[in-house]
Amino acid sequence: MDSELTVLGIETSCDETAAALVRGSAFGPGTILSSKVLSQLEEHAPYGGVVPEIAARAHVVHLNRLIEETMHEAGLGFGDIDGVAATAGPGLIGGLLVGLTTAKAIAWAHALPLLAVNHLEGHALTPRLTDGVAYPYLLFLASGGHTQFLSVEAADKYVRLGTTIDDALGEAFDKVAKLLGLGYPGGPLVEQAALSGNPERFALPRPLSGTDTCNFSFSGLKTAVRRVAQGLEPVSEADVADISACFQAAVLDVVVERCGRAMGLFRAAHPGAVPTLVVAGGVAANKALAEALRSAAEGTGFRLFVPPQWLCTDNAAMIAWVGLERLALGQPSPLDASARARWPLDSTSKPVLGSGKAGAKV
């Protein structure tokens, strides 16, 4: 279907409550008519991480108002839209139930198609919303819960090339930040501290470097950071900056090497495609990482797409876009669609060693 569709999106998978309206054809790019995101950082900061019960209660309190504000800003009523999409997983089950149940109520009350969306697919297809990037393309998805290389071949076809076998990259940043007393969320704080640090002061490991795989492991790197910090106690502000810089440098080296292998696999599998690398997920907002991947892509003839920073973090526009593509393919969801705490994009991939929470088949 190449006619324009308008879809309401709802996102409540973690600690952002979000609603958005997106219009366009399935080929992209689309137009974001309105987008509202309510952050819960202040509520969770005292605990050093997201508290599921607090997150779910905030979604209950604020979601209906955000939807009303989104519709009002776009000047549309429910009779003007073609479907309602909501994140159904993966994520915190309490929050998912709030958003998905709200979407079901709207769909039922206004006789609209429901689109139960995989949150990861929202990140995966964002470059089609923003730039109309054509299939297939290579995706590096890096967030607080997922670190993967995927070949994105269609709106319903993903092939996993590599994943983390323990901590996700965003989780590793958050844990290092907590260890160094930087606060929450950790990623931006570690990145900021690294700007004034010496990235060569401490010799940190590059896990899985040199191995014939696209997988990641960050648990050992995190442990090495802890040992360095413990050996310096009390840790000074300069020490924190240097440790942050060394940690980030190690991460960049690992990601760039893994990316080189993934680009080789992608090019071999799709010899006729325009080689394209997309970086998505919350960690894509890290400027040093984006620049390192830009250099790696250009050095191998790949185009690089990094969505605007606000579209790298959780938002409802990306969920609405996935719903739009699914609707154009004639793939609505049943009204009894279930929320899923775990939901891999590539459901046929084999489990990996370790906790595998970012990539294990579930």
Which range is most confident: 54-68, 77-91, 162-176?
A: 77-91
CA-angle at 332, arms to 327 and 333, nearest 5°: 145
For residue 353, the model assigns a pLDDT of 58
Q: Output the pLDDT for position 282.
A: 83
Tokens 């696999």, located at residue:
265
Give the H/E segment covering residue 77: none
Q: What is the pLDDT of residues 163-178, one digit of tens each?
A: 999 999 988 999 999 9
pLDDT, averaged across the chain: 91
What CATH class is the domain 137-309? alpha beta
CA distances from 124 to 6, 10, 133, 142 (A): 20, 17, 11, 11
Q: Confidence class of residue 128 from pLDDT cuts 50, 70 and 90?
A: very high
- Distance between CA atoms of 151 and 264, rounded to whole angstroms? 12
Residues 47-68 have a mean pLDDT of 85
Encoding tokens for residue 269?
A: 């599998």
Q: How far is CA 131 from the centre of its chain?
A: 18
**Cα-based distances in Å from 20 to 12, 37, 155, 156, 185:** 12, 9, 20, 22, 24
* pLDDT surpassing 80 at residue 359: no
> Partners of 115 in the beta sheet?
85
**Confidence band (pLDDT; 50, 70, 90) for 2?**
low
> What confidence score (pLDDT) does residue 58 get?
85
List the 83-89 sheet strands across, edge first. Answer: 31-39, 16-24, 5-11, 83-89, 114-118
Whole-angstrom Cα distance, residue 65 to residue 45? Answer: 24
pLDDT for 80 equals 97
Q: Are the beta carbons of 20 and 317 closer than 8 angstroms?
A: yes
CA distance 326 to 333: 9
* Count of Cβ atoms closer than 10 Å to residue 297 Cβ: 24
Question: Is the C-alpha dihedral spanning 283, 162, 200, 233 positive or negative?
Answer: positive
* Mean predicted confidence (pLDDT) in 5-17: 94
Residue 207, amino acid:
P
List, by residue range, all CATH 3.30.420.40 domains of the chain.
5-133+310-328, 137-309
Which string of b and e fits 15-54 if b means at least 16 CB within 10 Å?
bbbbbbbbbbbbebebebbbbbbbebeeebeeeeebbeee
- pLDDT higher than 60, residue 224: yes
Fold held by 5-133+310-328: Nucleotidyltransferase; domain 5 (3.30.420)
- Helix (H), strand (E), coil (C) string for 274-342: CCEEEEECHHHHCHHHHHHHHHHHHHCCCEEECCCHHHHCCCCHHHHHHHHHHHHCCCCECCCCCCCCC
What's the mean pLDDT in 233-251?
Answer: 96
What the block records as the tokens of 2 is 């190449």
Quick one: CA dihedral 14, 15, 18, 23, positive or negative? negative
